Amino acid sequence: MPSIHQSHIKTNNSFTILAIESSCDDTACALVRSDGTIISEQIYSQKEHIRFGGVVPEIAARAHLYHLRNLVEKMINTSNLSWNEIDAVAATCGPGLIGGVIVGSSFAKGLALSQNKPFIAINHIEAHALTVRIPNISNIQVQFPYLLLLTSGGHCQCIEVTDVGHYRHLGGTIDDAAGEAFDKVAKMLGLPWPGGPALEVLAKEGDEDRFALPRPLYGRPGCDFSFSGLKTAVGNLLSDYDTTVPLPRTLAADIAASFQKTITQSILNRLENAIQMVSGISLLATAGGVAANKYLRNHLLNLANKYNLPFIAPPMQYCTDNAVMIGWAAIEILQQARQNHMIIDDIAILPRPRWPLSELSQRIHHKG
């Protein structure tokens, strides 16, 4: 009897994928087609963490477990697709909060087995890296290789994307990620969680030149990042004020604006070094939750223009964690496998809290 993968993977490169993302605090699912059509998607942004001022891993895992089934059922029902029209099931298998990754990937594997479909294990970072290649996401048709700035609450990396499954890590954070720094500074300023978007809004009211803050690693070789010292500097600045009462809004806005300017300058400096480390790239891209920050996006566009590079960033809703990027990554992987006459078999891959891009060879391929 043929394997489920041989019997269900098409001989052409047209696929429809059911995808699940559960690596942090967003429970998401999507149906994505290989022409870039997003047939249907559902997302639940967990509100359970607001009173804690940050993501609580155990609560996140329980929320995924509670909401995921209903979201998937609603998505399939509203899509008017039958399981015969779905070619594979994909899910984040890492990196991420391990409880959530276990819930999402286990649920997806159960769906795949029950419906006799192949399961595709997706690396969350790879999915972010490939998001800009979704057709119609912009007026630019993204070709390999390109340079990616991935910046989010858990990651800040410069990556040369040379092909599906082939990535060169040029530099990354040595302490806090940029999104983590945004959230922690926002919390210091008394802003609601999630802090990054709230800080960006407040910064629009402020004077970005009022406070001179340190720019960690600025001007040094390489393109590693460090934001812990900047976060500490804001804390030291606030020690001069009475934090038992709310800060005056003007003061808070000036601190927010000064912080946003400084962290952006640091990112641009490190990224400029990365641009000079690569050759022949087609464009500069960004992804991740912090890439939704309009102030940063505008400065990234200016940097790309300086080097005569096209610049692309996903729409705001696809910068943060989402299932559409998981589905698209699965499509890219399946198309590559089909071109190489390979069969994908990821059902045995275990969820992982850490999964560096350098270890993507763990994906199992068989000759078709």
Written as one string, the DSSP assignment of 154-202 is S-EEEEEEEETTEEEEEEEBSS--HHHHHHHHHHHTTPPSSHHHHHHHH
Confidence category of residue 300, pLDDT binned at 50, 70, 90:
very high
On the question of pLDDT at 109 being above 50, the answer is yes
Residues of the chain with CATH 3.30.420.40: 4-131+320-367, 143-313
Burial class (CB in 10 A: 0-12, 13-18, 19+), 308: exposed
229 marked as binding residue: no
Mean per-residue pLDDT, 63-73: 98
154 marked as binding residue: yes
Distance CA 32, CA 35 (A): 8
Tell me what pLDDT residue 158 has.
98
Tell me what pLDDT residue 367 has.
66
268 marked as binding residue: no
pTM to 2 decimal places:
0.94
Mean per-residue pLDDT, 80-88: 96
Confidence category of residue 4, pLDDT binned at 50, 70, 90:
very low
87 marked as binding residue: no
Q: Which of 267, 279, 269, 273 is nearest to 146 (CA)?
A: 279
Confidence category of residue 114, pLDDT binned at 50, 70, 90:
very high
Tell me what pLDDT residue 244 has.
80
Token couple for 99: 């409880």
Tell me what pLDDT residue 366 has.
64
45 marked as binding residue: no
124 marked as binding residue: yes
Asked if 259 contacts 246 with a C-beta cutoff of 8 angstroms, the reply is no
Pairing of strands 38-45, 26-33: antiparallel
Q: Does domain 143-313 have CATH number 3.40.50.300?
A: no
Distance CA 122, CA 128 (A): 10
Confidence category of residue 168, pLDDT binned at 50, 70, 90:
very high
Confidence category of residue 317, pLDDT binned at 50, 70, 90:
very high
On the question of pLDDT at 10 being above 80, the answer is no
Higher pLDDT pick, 299 / 243:
299
Topology (CATH level 3) of domain 4-131+320-367:
Nucleotidyltransferase; domain 5 (3.30.420)
183 marked as binding residue: yes
Confidence category of residue 2, pLDDT binned at 50, 70, 90:
very low
155 marked as binding residue: no
